[in-house]
Amino acid sequence: MKKYFIVDAFTQQPFGGNPAGVVLLGQDGLFPTDELMQQVAAELRYSETAFVRQDSPTEFTVRYFTPAGEVDLCGHATIATYGVLLQQGIVPAAAVCINHTLAGDLEMAVDEIVMMQMAPPRAIDKPMDIPRLHHIMGAESIYPWPELPVDIISTGLPDIIMPVDSVEALNSLRPDMDALAALSRELAVVGVHAVALTDDGYTGHVRNFAPLYGVPEESATGTANAALTHYLHRHCLISAPGECRFMQGEAMGRPSVVTTILDGKGSISVGGQSRIIAKGDLLV
């Protein structure tokens, strides 16, 4: 019997953070067909649903499906997954687990705050038409622009990192979703992660847009905030070792706090808390 959970990640408050589906596979440990996992993800209607197979007491293989297709990795669904495993007594507090994904094997520190080690960060050098990007994002009227570049960064999934000058400018973004999906396909990225750097107790406020994968806007994005952390270090805006806190989801009424840790070697972990709000049996 497969169990499913609906989990709000990067928050302790119900109906805050970023919701994800989590499906724990039965005793046989077999993944359903890709078609069935896609149908379940579409039925649950969350931006990502994680399907979890236990390989050993501290090793798990996780596959991630959006309503539109499979992705290699999803940060908030991973935080949700290991929150479920902890809260259901499948792994103990203070456990260190290995998360096998299509993006590689990631180390998980599982406790009240679940922290996920990301894949090694890398900048992806691709030519980009910045005026076209700004037009697509509905950002042509924003002034001033910060003197920071637009980069493509990956810590497992590639995102366009687009800085803006203020939280007000961030909240004014109104992307053309069809055009953004087309640009994301051309550049082979998940979407755009926009950031306004602040000094209000958070490193920055962020918004994330991924319409190519059926996600117009996401309220908490682990992989993209890890990529942003590398971006900030790459451009000498933070030092290593260090910690960042990003506020996301305000524009959606689902505020989320995403924590990232940058170690002295440039490795990045991302994490937060989670809250189970529903569970049941999957009867297919």
Summarised one tens digit per residue, pLDDT across range 201-223 is 999 999 999 999 888 999 988 88
- pLDDT tens figures, 246-270: 999 999 999 999 999 999 999 999 9
DSSP state letter for 216: E
pLDDT at 107: 93
Residues facing 107 on adjacent strands: 98
Catalytic (active site) residue 48: yes
Q: Band of the pLDDT at 1, cuts 50, 70, 90?
A: low
**Active-site entry in 48, 59, 70, 243:** 48
E-strand ranges in the chain read 2-9, 18-24, 49-56, 59-65, 70-71, 95-101, 104-110, 114-117, 122-124, 151-154, 158-164, 192-197, 204-210, 215-218, 242-248, 256-262, 268-272, 274-282
Token readout for 238 is 């933070």
- Domain limits, CATH 3.10.310.10, in the chain: 2-116+273-282, 122-266
**Rounded average pLDDT over 23-45:** 90
What is the identity of the amino acid at 94? A
Q: Does domain 2-116+273-282 have CATH number 3.40.50.300?
A: no
| Average pLDDT over all residues of the chain | 93
pLDDT of residue 111: 93
Superfamily for domain range 122-266? Diaminopimelate Epimerase; Chain A, domain 1 (3.10.310.10)
